């Protein structure tokens, strides 16, 4: 079994700020006076950051207390959260299972109750996937909604700063402090359409769970979902090769991560053009579905999360991002919320909304979770 961080997800503990909400930050976001190491020995001696990432600064200025930086899959380029160098955070509620990547530590410290919320980054599902594995809420805002200034990598057409929390009301408070408005709690859930795209038993359990809450979504389809997943992989490979390729010369990048980075070197101009075409077409398809219903719902993960032993080959589990990565490509906001367990492994529901409707996602999660408790 891989090593586990004693703090259940923190790689560095410290206290900054004064306020009523405590949070943690994935170690791809700068905190002044601390190194941004991204779970990679090649960055072990990087210069300390001179200023906070923009989102960190906003939260500190708005009455939040920063408790430290969290572990992650090396260089934020993996889906398991397993990190032999920096430590693999314990999945608090499902300790035999992967914590999920790449924002594994942020999900773990929230699930363990060590902080009220945490920041992560999501380029291909790296907030929503660990949130689903650890049984907490995970929000990927629309592309560009939250500043990436002071984040790693500096440039990306897919990456978003996202948030983890156990309660929707905490997401509401954190987003308000980041100048993203969340309206008053809903009295009724708006129309919702369900996309059956996961393993049948997972889809069936999610629909049964919604039925128990008196939610009966209509059926919908996204015909380009798999194409969007593949296009997202093409773009992240290319963009990570450009951003992270220089680190390979150090010889201090783990073999599996290094192989993924090198794969981006061979992405052709035609492949990039084709991926951008899929981006435009898929974005239009999602917009069309959302014009019919304000919310789309589908499983967060197409399969049940694997155990640490089952995920020994990181490349074998990339398919776990098949239902989350497409919405990085399209740029739509998406949120995952826990919906119980199947065969002692967590399942989660992903909600997708129109651009600018992050608040609706939080309101819908709040509505659904309140009814699950009653």
Q: Using one digit for the tens of pLDDT, what is the confidence trace for 313-334? A: 766 787 899 999 999 999 999 9
In-domain check, residue 1: no
Count of CB atoms within 10 A of residue 345's CB? 17
Which residues neighbour 176 within 8 Å (Cβ) at sequence distance 6 or greater?
Answer: 182
**What does the longest C-alpha to C-alpha distance in the chain come to?**
56
The pLDDT of residue 6: 44
Q: Encoding tokens for residue 355?
A: 């651009």
Cα separation values, 91 from 1, 11, 52, 106, 340, Å = 13, 15, 28, 11, 15
Please report the pLDDT score of residue 79 as a whole number: 94
Full-model pTM: 0.97
| Residue 309, token pair as written in the block | 């032993």
In a domain, 343, yes or no: yes
- Domain assignment present for residue 287? The answer is yes
Find out whether 81 and 100 touch, Cβ atoms under 8 Å. yes
Chain-centroid distance, C-alpha 23:
16
Does 352 map to a domain? Answer: yes
Query: Looking at the domain assignment, is residue 339 inside a domain?
Result: yes
CA atoms of 149 and 172, how far apart (whole Å): 22
User: Tens of pLDDT along the chain (374 residues)?
Assistant: 344 444 569 999 999 999 999 999 999 999 999 999 999 999 999 999 999 999 999 999 999 999 999 999 999 999 999 998 888 999 999 999 999 999 999 999 999 999 999 999 999 999 999 999 999 999 999 999 999 999 999 999 999 999 999 999 999 999 999 999 999 999 999 999 999 999 999 999 999 999 999 999 999 999 999 999 999 999 999 999 999 999 999 999 999 999 999 999 999 999 999 999 999 999 999 999 999 999 999 999 999 999 999 998 766 787 899 999 999 999 999 999 999 999 999 999 999 999 999 999 999 999 999 998 87
pLDDT digits (tens, 9 = 90+) for 171-182: 999 999 999 999
Q: Tell me the residue range of the domain where 246 lies.
A: 10-371
Q: Using an 8 Å Cβ cutoff, are 157 and 235 in contact?
A: yes
4 occurs within a structural domain: no
Token pair, residue 123, equals 């380029």
Q: Indicate the number of domains in the chain.
A: 1
Helix pair 225-244, 269-292: axis angle to 10 deg: 130
Integer Cα distance of 358 and 139 in angstroms = 8
The CATH number assigned to the domain holding 140 equals: 3.90.1300.10
State how far the Cα of 356 lies from the Cα of 345, in Å rounded to an integer: 33
Tally of helices (H runs) and strands (E runs) in the chain: 10, 11
């Amino acid at each position: 079994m891989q090593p586990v961080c004693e703090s259940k997800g923190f790689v560095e503990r410290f206290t900054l700020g004064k306020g009523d909400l405590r949070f943690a930050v994935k170690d791809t976001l700068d905190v002044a006076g601390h190194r941004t190491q991204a779970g990679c020995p090649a960055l072990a001696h990087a210069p300390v950051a001179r200023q906070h990432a923009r989102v960190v600064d906003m939260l500190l200025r708005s009455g939040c207390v920063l408790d430290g930086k969290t572990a992650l899959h090396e260089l934020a380029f993996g889906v398991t959260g397993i990190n032999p160098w920096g430590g693999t955070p314990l999945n608090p509620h499902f300790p035999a299972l992967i914590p999920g990547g790449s924002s594994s530590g942020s999900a773990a410290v929230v699930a363990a109750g060590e902080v009220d919320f945490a920041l992560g980054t999501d380029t291909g599902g790296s907030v929503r996937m660990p949130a689903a594995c650890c049984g907490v809420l995970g929000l990927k805002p629309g592309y560009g909604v939250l500043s990436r200034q002071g984040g790693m990598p500096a440039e990306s057409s897919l990456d978003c700063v996202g948030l983890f929390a156990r309660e929707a009301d905490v997401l509401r408070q954190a987003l308000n402090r980041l100048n993203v408005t969340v309206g008053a709690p809903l009295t009724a859930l708006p129309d919702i359409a369900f996309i059956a795209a996961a393993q049948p038993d997972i889809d069936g359990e999610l629909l049964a769970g919604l039925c128990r809450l008196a939610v009966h979504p209509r059926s919908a389809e996204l015909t380009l979902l798999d194409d969007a997943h593949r296009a997202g992989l093409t773009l992240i490979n290319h963009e990570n090769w450009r951003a992270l390729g220089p680190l390979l010369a150090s010889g201090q990048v783990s073999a599996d991560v290094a192989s993924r980075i090198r794969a981006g070197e061979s992405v052709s101009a035609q492949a990039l053009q084709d991926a951008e075409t899929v981006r435009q077409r898929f974005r239009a398809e999602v917009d069309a579905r959302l014009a019919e219903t304000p919310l789309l719902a589908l499983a967060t993960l197409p399969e049940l999360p694997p155990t640490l032993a089952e995920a020994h080959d990181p490349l074998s589990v990339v398919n776990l991002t098949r239902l989350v990565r497409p919405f990085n490509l399209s740029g739509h906001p998406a949120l995952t919320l826990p919906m119980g367990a199947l065969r002692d492994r967590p399942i989660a529901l992903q909600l997708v909304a129109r651009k600018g409707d992050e608040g609706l996602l939080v309101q819908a999660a709040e509505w659904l979770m309140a009814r699950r408790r009653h």
